Structure 1
Amino acid sequence: MTQTAKRPNRNLTNLVIDIAIFVAFLVAMAPHFSGMTIHEWLGVAFGATILSHLVLHWQWIVQVTKRFFSKLQWSARLNYALNALLFIDITVIIFTGLMISEQVLPIFGLTAAHGGAWKMLHSQSADISVYLVGLHVALHWQWIVNMVKRFVITPLLPQRKAAQPAPAAHTMLKEEGVLQ
């Protein structure tokens, strides 16, 4: 008999990746807290994690892209537009971050222009991302709450046993032939 591997729960996978992205975002937004080396490497890892997030949601992206100008709920259009803006903004942040990199690029023997324009664009894009991420979290808040309840809170609660019939009811049900 062959056993098939149990597929991981897609919602749990999404929740874990989303939490990782959010924590990385918070730490990356405070380079004075983490230090420049961690800030830069976290930015690179953040880019890879965002790509995995896109791969996990690729079918949704394709479907909404196909139907964007036809029948589609306004909430899906809003979510799509916000995600597109967020993707563009994050791409600008990562690109400009690499252009002003003091830690990551030199390891690979690369140097980039460290001009003030790149730093200004990096900083402004990062500021914009705070608002876009806030809106993104707000749009998905109900899903976040439901998944945290399902995968974090519920497993931590003591398990309750199924209700058992009272002894008198149990005896009566046996006599009636309902229970054996």
Structure 2
Amino acid sequence: MNLFKFFLSLIITIAMLLLMDPRSFYGLAFHEWAGLIMGLFFILHKILNWGWIKKVTIGFFRKSTGRARFNYILDVLLLAGITLMILSGIAIARTIDFSWLNLGGSRMFWRVMHTSSSFITLALFGIHLGLHWNWILQRLKIKKVKNGKEN
């Protein structure tokens, strides 16, 4: 299971970076479809980590460590950011017809929301990645080097 979680996280990371510019990697249609698929992968990521989410939610004010609380708040912000990215992406989609959703609002509003939430979420994602760096190194079997010595 840990290997699957690792590869899922790796796919989400690579997709997030590739999707930052809709025209640089296979065009707008790829950007829109891949964005939706990445959203599904994110949901799967949350499902696979549901035990941790449940444990920290229940003990948030009682027995969780400061780091666990910080990770939890960061995850909530990431969830909000990714939700805004997907919702605004649906509202401004050009190659997939979501007009039946009738989201309202101006195209400019949704475009600004999409761009802003993407950059803010990318920054939060970088923090999330940094906080899980040791876990990543363990999965890759890379030993940290500190002062010229392996740890």
- In the TM superposition, what whole-angstrom CA distance separates every residue of 1:131-180 from its partner, at most 9, and x where no partner exists? 10100000000000110127xxxxxxxxxxxxxxxxxxxxxxxxxxxxxx
Q: How far apart, CA to CA, are the structure 2 residues paired with 1:38 and 1:115?
A: 20
Q: How far apart, CA to CA, are the structure 2 residues paired with 1:82 and 1:89?
A: 10
- In the TM superposition, what whole-angstrom CA distance separates every residue of 1:72-116 from its partner, at most 9, and x where no partner exists? 11110010000110010000000000011111226xx74755610
Verify: 1:42 aligned to 2:34, yes or no: yes
Residue in structure 2 matched with residue 62 of structure 1 by the alignment? 54
TM-score normalised to structure 1 length: 0.73
Verify: 1:82 aligned to 2:74, yes or no: yes
Q: How far apart, CA to CA, are the structure 2 residues paired with 1:138 and 1:27?
A: 19
- Which has the higher mean CA deviation after the structures are superposed, 93-102 or 112-121? 112-121
Would you identify which runs of 4 or more consecutive aligned residues in structure 1 move more than 3 Å? Answer: 109-114
Residue in structure 1 matched with residue 8 of structure 2 by the alignment? 17
Count of residues paired in the alignment: 139
Question: For 1:130, which of 119, 122, 134 is the aligned residue?
Answer: 122
Q: How far apart, CA to CA, are the structure 1 residues paired with 2:114 and 2:23?
A: 15
- Structure exhibiting the larger radius of gyration computed from Cα positions: 1
Q: Which runs of 5+ in 2 are unaligned?
A: 143-151
Q: Which runs of 5+ in 1 are unaligned?
A: 1-9, 151-180
SS at match of 2:64: coil
SS at match of 1:104: coil
Residue in structure 2 matched with residue 178 of structure 1 by the alignment? none
Q: How far apart, CA to CA, are the structure 2 residues paired with 1:133 and 1:105?
A: 29
SS at match of 1:102: coil
Cα shift at 1:63 = 0.7
Residue in structure 1 matched with residue 43 of structure 2 by the alignment? 51
TM-score normalised to structure 2 length: 0.87
Q: How far apart, CA to CA, are the structure 1 residues paired with 2:63 and 2:6?
A: 29
Residue in structure 2 matched with residue 159 of structure 1 by the alignment? none
Identity %: 35
- Alpha-carbon RMSD across the aligned residues, in angstroms, is 1.6
Aligned-partner residue type, residue 49 of structure 2: H
Higher relative contact order (CA 8 A, sep 6+): 2
